[in-house]
Amino acid sequence: MEEVKEAQATLKYARISARKVKIVADLIRGKDVKEALAIVKFTPKASSEIIEKLLKSAIANAENNHEMKSDNLYISEIYANQGPTLKRIRPAAKGSAVRIRKRTSHITIVLKEKEGK
């Protein structure tokens, strides 16, 4: 049994909530790379620009580091985990303060080649 090649790209500390990234990630999970790029290109979400850039990076990793053909690639895994939260303070009514949580996320894309080609 031969080993299945895989290539991945990771973006850490992206200044966007993991919850927002997961919406777009769910749209392209399991899709071909070309189809996924088209979906991400025309999805009007904040995270789609970040995911598009990361997906292109994963494709470049596959072609240059693992000698994989971009035509046979598909997204086997894509996930967004929560990163550290930046805590900021904003003044509020009656001399009190409100905490603002600026969330970050770690996004990972794993690409694999289709069998039988």
How high does pLDDT run on average in the chain?
91
- Is residue 8 a contact partner of residue 110, using CB atoms and an 8 Å limit? yes
**Does 25 score more than 90 pLDDT?**
yes
Q: What is the pLDDT of residue 3?
A: 67
Q: Which domains does the chain have, with CATH numbers?
A: 6-113 (3.90.470.10)
In this predicted model, what pLDDT tens digit does every residue of 62-116 receive, in sequence order? 999 988 888 889 999 999 999 999 999 999 999 999 999 999 999 999 999 887 6
pTM of the model: 0.88
Q: Output b/e per residue, 55-94; b: 16+ Cβ within 10 A.
A: bebbbebbeeeeebeeebbbbeebebeebeeeeeeeeeee
